Structure 1
Amino acid sequence: MSFKIQKVEYFYTSVVDQPGEAYKFLSTLSKAGINLLAFTAVPVGPMRTQLSIFPEDPSRFMVQAKNAGIQTDGPYSAILVQGDDQLGAFAEVHQKLYEANVNVYACAGVTDGKGTFGYLLYIRPEQFDAAIKALNL
């Protein structure tokens, strides 16, 4: 299987859990010309949502977030795997990490319905170099 594997940086921010907050945030980024590789939103309490932002250009994102008054935490490192959606693609990635004794503490994947996929892997900082080596980055 053919994969494109890259180290990516991501940032967190949190918003009140109410309609329109993700829209407002994403619109602000769009108006600032920030292209995203990935984006997630998960609840972190009864009335808060944590947004994870994976900008294509982390330096530009940091400047634009500061200019817009957006408080962020990061950058942190993750691994983005993209490739052809074939049976066992996620398993193959995990096998390489397993064989290197690297723990994946969180991940999220999606297919586009047209034959390709994207997969985010969160690796603890102390194991990140081993993960990069195992995935031939």
Structure 2
Amino acid sequence: MAELIPITRSISIDPSEIEETFVRSAGRGGQNVNKVSSAVQLRFDLKNSPSLPEAMKRRVATLAGKRLTKSGVIVISANSHRDQPMNRADALDKLVALLVAGAHVPKFRVATRPTLASKRRRLEGKSIRSGIKRLRSNPADNQ
């Protein structure tokens, strides 16, 4: 069995959940530019993945944006290298980075009100600043 791909300490995905297809890459390649399929399209079925909790799936779906298909599959393309193994590693790194970002639970922000003292300090600072700017203007305007 292949080794699990770690996402967080408690979450990891099975490599069998990832499907890779190789296509011809547009761009650099020298003599092999039209002969070798070095670009990688990585597909990960987010919707049906048993490895990820539902809350994380929702966060990853919003982070994936256009890379997520209507059927819930993430499609990641990598073609920046001439070498197929380097493109495979690059695509896998992109997927892991996306899943790690989705694993982060955003902190709940509690709305607070500024204190009366902080409001006074802010207004005093504004009046001091406006006085400085008034002194910089023309003397005729100060009357």
Tell whether the structures are fold-level matches, with TM greater than 0.5.
Answer: no
Q: TM-score, normalised by structure 2?
A: 0.26
* Higher relative contact order (Cα pairs below 8 Å, separated by 6+ residues): 1
- Judging by fraction of residues, say which structure has more strand: 1
In terms of Rg, which structure is larger? 2
